[in-house]
Structure 1
Amino acid sequence: MKIKDSLFTAFLFLVLFSTLHLFSVGCCTPYKILGSEDLINDSLLILEKGKFGIYQLQGKQPEELPEDAFCDYKDVIVEGDVLNINVYHPTRIDWMHTIRHFNEMRGGVRVNQGKISLAGFEPIEIEGMTLPEARETIREALREEVKDADAFLSFRERNSNIVEIGGYVARKWIPIDGKIRLYEVLSKAFIPPDANLYASFVQREGCNLSVDLNRLVRQGDMSQNIVMRPRDKIFIASPTEEFAIVMAENIHLSTRPSPQGYNLRAIHLPAGYISLREALVTAQGISYSNSKCYVQVIRGGLCSPRIYIVPWHRIDSVPNQNLLLIPGDLVYISLSPISNWKILIDELSVSLVLAPFLQFITREIRK
C-alpha cells in the first residue's frame, strides 16, 4: 500500500511539474505571434520606404544625407593631375608643334607642387583653379612672351577626382567633374543586371550614405541620385549576398534534405525583398504531403523577432506585393495531419514487425 501511495505521489508531482514547465515556456516565448494582417502592414512599409523600410523593421537608424548631397561643386585642379595642353598662334606654327611634341613625349603635363611646366616658360601655378580659370592664367603667361598666343586644356588623368567601385563590377574607378551623379557613375560602371543592389552601398569618408541603389536603378527614383564627390566608394554586392529560406517537410525542392529531415531552399533577394508567393514558386511549389492550412513566416533578424501565421487562402487572395519576405526570413511549411498520421503508422508497423524477433532474442538470452 505504501508503495502504491509513493508511486501516486510521484506521478502527481511529475504532472504538476510538466504543467508548470509548459505554462512558463508558453508565457516566456521570445517571439511575437502575429497574423497575416501584420505581415501586410510590414510589407506596405517596405514598398513605401524600400531599403529603409527594412532597416526600420530591423531597428536600424540610418543617418540623414549631408545637406549638400545634391549640390554641384567646383571641380578644381589638384596635385598630381595630368592635363592635355595645346597652344595656338596664328603665325608661329613651329612653336605650336614644339609645345605639342614636348607635351606628348611626357604623356601630358603633370601638376607638380601646384605648378605646370611648358617648354621655354617659367612654371605656372594653377592648383585649386577650375579648367576655365587655369586656361586664362596660362594664356596670360604665354602672351607675356608670345603675342596673340592662346591655350586649350583638358584633363588627361586624375588621381583624386575619381569614384572607386568594388565588388561585382567590371570597372574599378570612374572620373568625376563636380556635376556627375550616382546614376551616371553606375551606368558607366556596367553593373550586371543580377547584382544585389539592396546589399550594395555608397561610402563617403568611411561612412555609408543613406542611398537606396535598388530604388534608383530599378525603379528610377531620382531622390536617391546624389552628386558624387572625390574618393567616394561604391560597393556592388553579388546576387547571392542576401537570401530568405523556405524550409518544408517532404517538399520537392532542388536541394538535398538537411540532417534534421527538412528540405531547405535559399531564395536570393537582389532587391532586398520578394513576395511570399514568388518564393514558394521558386522553391518549386509544395508537395501533396504538406499542410494547405497555413504557412509560418519566421522573422528572426529583428530586435523583436516575430512569427507570422499566414492562412493559405490569404496567400491566394492577397496581391503579391502585400506579402513580402526580407533577408533572414524563414518560411516553414509543415506536414498535413494525414501525412503525420502516415509517419506514425509506418513507425508502429516497424515496431510490430520487430516485436516477435525481440521476444525471441530475449528468451534466448534468458536461457
Structure 2
Amino acid sequence: MTRSLLAAALCGLALPALLPTAAHAQADRASDRARALAQTAIIVDGHVDMPYRVQVSGADVGQAVPAHDFDFPRAKAGGLDAPFMSIYVGAAFQGTGGARAEADRLIGLVEGQAALHPDKFEIAYSAQDVVRIKKAGKIALPMGMENGAPIEGDLANLAHFHKRGIRYITLAHSRVNHLSDSSYDEERRWGGLSPFGRLAVAEMNRLGLMVDVSHITDAAFDDVMAVTRAPVIASHSSCRHFTPGFERNMSDAMIERLGENGGVIMINFGSSFLTAEANGHRRAMAEAYDAYLADNDLTHSAEREAAFEAGYQLNKPYPHADVSDVADHIDRAVELAGIDHVGLGSDFDGVGDTLPEGLKSPADLPNLIDELIDRGYSDGDIVKILSGNLLRVWRAVEAAAE
C-alpha cells in the first residue's frame, strides 16, 4: 500500500486535504430547542487534537482559526464546554526516544493557551472543575494523553503526568508499544497488554487516571477489563457494526462489556469511523495509486502521488458521512450498552477533512443535538450523552483512587 496515504488513514492525523465540497460551509439545521440545550447543558468532548495542530501551525485558538476545527469562538457558539486536549505523542518517538519530553512540551502548549486567555480557558483537573469552569463562562481544558509511549517503562511517570494534569491515557496509538498491542499494527507482540501494561493499568486506577481503550486490540481490551477496578473509556471510537473489519472501532461485544464495566464509548465523528464507504475510500485510492505506478513502470514521489490523488478524487470524491450517521452510532451504542454509557469524542483537528456534513466544527454541535431530539431522545438522556456519562465515569475513577 502507498506509504503516505495509509499512514494518514491509520493514524487519523495530518490527513491530506480532500477535494473542497459544499460541506465546508457550516450547516445551520438546528432548532431553537437544540441551540438552547447546547448552551445550558455541559458538553464534554473526549478527544480534540488542538495541541498537535497548534504545535505545527502556531495558531492562537483563543481567536478564530478557520484552518483548524477547534477555536474559542466556534466552541462557544456550539456550547462545547470541556474538550479533552489530546496530548498526542506519535509512534515515531518509540524508536527515536523523547516521548516523555514531547508530552511535556504539548502539555505546556495547552497551559500556554490557558495563560494567554485566562478569561476564556482554564485547565480542568477534576470533574468538579469542569462544572465550576462552565459556571464561570469559560471553556475547560482537561487533558488526555494519546499513546502510552511517554511512560517509558517507568510507573513513576504516571504520577508525573497525573500531576501535570493528564486525566486519561490511551494505552497505544498506531504501533505496538511497551504497554499494549495496537489495532492498527499487524504485529501482535504481546497478544494484548504487556506485563508492564497490566501493572500500568493498576497504577492508573490507583492514581485516578482514566484508562482509554481506543486504538488497542480486542485482546488488549479484554486484558484491560480483567485488570481494571474502575470504569474505563473509549475516548474517540465508534461502532464496528457499521464498518465491518475495522478493528479500530469497537465490536458489539466490546460495547456491551464496556457498559457492564460502567464505562463509556465516546463516538468519533470522522467519516471513516462512521460508514463502510468512507472507511474504504483511502485504501481503494492507495491501491489504485500502486496499480498506476506498476502499470506505468513509475516510482513513487510525493508530487506524483498528490497529482494522482487529485485526479482520482475528481472521479471518486470522498464520501463524507452526515450528522445522521453519528446519531446512528449513538443509537447502536445505546442499544448495546445503555443510555448511561455513550458520549462524544469528535476527534476534531485529528481526522483532517473527513468530518461529516453538518458537523464540521464545535459550532455545529446543536445539529447533532437536534438529530437526537428528532429521534426521540429526552433532554435528560441527551445531557447524559453530552457530558453526564463521562463526568460520572471520571468521578468514579477519582473515587476508586481515593
- Bigger proportion of residues as strand: 1
Q: Give the TM-score, by structure 2 length.
A: 0.20
> Please, what TM-score do these two structures have when normalized by structure 1?
0.21
Higher RCO by CA contacts (8 Å cutoff, separation 6 or greater): 2
